[in-house]
Structures are given as structure tokens and as C-alpha cells.
Amino acid sequence: MEPPLADEGVLIIASGSYTHDLSSWRGHAGLPDPDWVTDFADWFDDALTEGRTSGLLAYRRLSPHAQRNHPT
């Protein structure tokens, strides 16, 4: 049996969307993404690209607009 990916230092992140506050998102079809979405997505992309695992694990405290993008 192969070891779990975590034992190999692999971080797996799965999400249907960066933004789960869909009630605020309604009505934005065809409009530019709101700053609270792009700021969070840009931070998350940078953290992933730069390998900031500890920051990703603490995203609710460290990333911009985390509470709004992921209210629960």
C-alpha cells in the first residue's frame, strides 16, 4: 500500500469555488468580479504558487475577505 499523500508532503485543496457566499454573488452575471472576490482569489493563487502552506492553512485569519468568501 502506498503512503498517504500527506506523508509525502503533498497538500490537496479542493473547492467548488473560491467564493461560497453565493447570496452576495447573485446578480453579478456579466459584471466585473467584486474586489472581495478578486482580492481573495489573488491572495490564494499567490500563496499556492509560492508554497505558503502555513498561510493557506490559516487562510481565515490571513487572507483578505476570507469570512465573506467562506462565511461558514
Cα–Cα distances in Å, from 21 out to 4, 7, 15, 24, 69?
32, 33, 13, 6, 5
List the domain boundaries for the chain: 31-72
Cα–Cα dist 33/42, whole Å: 12
pTM, full prediction: 0.70
35: nearest Cα among 2, 71, 68: 68
Instruction: List the helix and strand counts (H, then E) for the chain.
Output: 5, 0
Q: Higher confidence at residue 57 or residue 29?
A: 57
The band of 55, judged by pLDDT with boundaries at 50, 70 and 90, is very high
